[in-house]
Amino acid sequence: MDITPPTQSVASLEGNSAARKNFYNAIAAHSMTPLWEVLHGLVPPSPTTPCQPAFWKYADVRPYLMQSGQLITAEEAVRRVLILENPGLRGQSSITQSLYAGLQVIMAGEIAPSHRHTQSALRFVVEGHGAYTSVDGERTQMKPGDFIITPSWTFHDHGHQGQVQVDAPVVWLDGLDIPMLRFFDAGFAENGTARQQEVTKPEGISSQRYGANMLPVRYTPPFGKTSPIFSYPYERTRDALHELETHADIDAWDGVKLRYVNPATGGSPMPTMATFMQRLPAGFAGKPYRQTDGAVFSVVEGSGSVSIEHKGKVWTFEFGPRDHFVIPSWHTAQLQSTQGCVLFSFSDRPVHQALGIHREERLS
């Protein structure tokens, strides 16, 4: 029995191709396009991303940050930031498809003026002392390793109280959900009526009110779904990591890794971004893992390396203090450290979890 599938003549195929082309042109005039031509790209068998692993060595970046401080004032720039732009997303001001990251510098005596926006923001202090952030009438000092939140639609300003030509600049990592809000067309912003907002609350009052494993009896969230604490000092975090490294089991993939929380809910500090701090002990050789949330890392202390593999291609970055790197979605990563190190990171995991699409694989 002949089971050879029927074939079409060359003339038939050419005629069919011409008919399809005419059909596509006709429906294009009505703002339509055929799904079957793009289906496999829209619904891929596994996550695909234009994002690439990338690494920013602080020793290379810092001179440009300092030069920017001579070229434009903080007030003129509004925010003097050099964006960490993913090489696969050039021109989009994004480090992943959903996240923005940049390094902001403020010189002694400067003020970055007050404004607010619907985008949530985090500040992770990289270098220097003497700067502060004010949020909703409360001011907090910025010290290296501190994680500070600017909740959505809250007035905030930054300043450096040091003396000009005496005190060093302060640099911090900015992380925002700008691309995410751009996707939803939900971005709003407003400038403050004064360069600095009036400080109406004593420094540290939010931590006293919400950060002692207690909440006011009649608790009303001051910032909606964002943590009522906007400053998480590194000193406390570092002590916790040290004690756990000494007395608890070491995870084979993450070392000692903790997530920052909203004390009122136990969830992430911000509805769109999760933040983490981890300690890799000396001699740590992590097992490979991958996850759907792309993550941005800032090296706090020590040194190590990260190996990132995707579709047969491998990137290896040797990192030290204040370096930054990004691991895109569903790229396999392995962390190692000979002398030990501390890493801060943030990702869009809360959104993945809220939508029920987060996936992680811990490989062996």
Residue 166, pLDDT score: 83
Segments of the chain scoring below 70 in pLDDT: 1-15
Determine the topology of domain 54-362 in CATH: Jelly Rolls (2.60.120)
Total Cβ atoms within 10 A of residue 120: 25
List CB contacts of 307: < 8 A, sequence separation 6 or more: 314, 315, 316, 333, 334, 336
The whole-model pTM stands at: 0.94
CB 110, CB 197: distance < 8 Å:
no
The one-letter amino acid code at 303 reads S
Backbone angle region of 78, left / alpha / beta, with phi > 0 → left and psi within -120 to 50 → alpha: left
What does the radius of gyration of the chain's CA atoms come to, in whole angstroms? 24
The one-letter amino acid code at 326 reads V
CB 86, CB 54: distance < 8 Å:
yes
Residue 5, pLDDT score: 56
> DSSP for 293-322?
S-EEEEEEEE-EEEEEEETTEEEEEEE-TT
HSE-CB of 8 using CA atoms within 13 angstroms: 8
Gap between the Cα atoms of 257 and 279, Å rounded: 6
CB 156, CB 199: distance < 8 Å:
no
CB 327, CB 53: distance < 8 Å:
yes
The one-letter amino acid code at 274 reads A
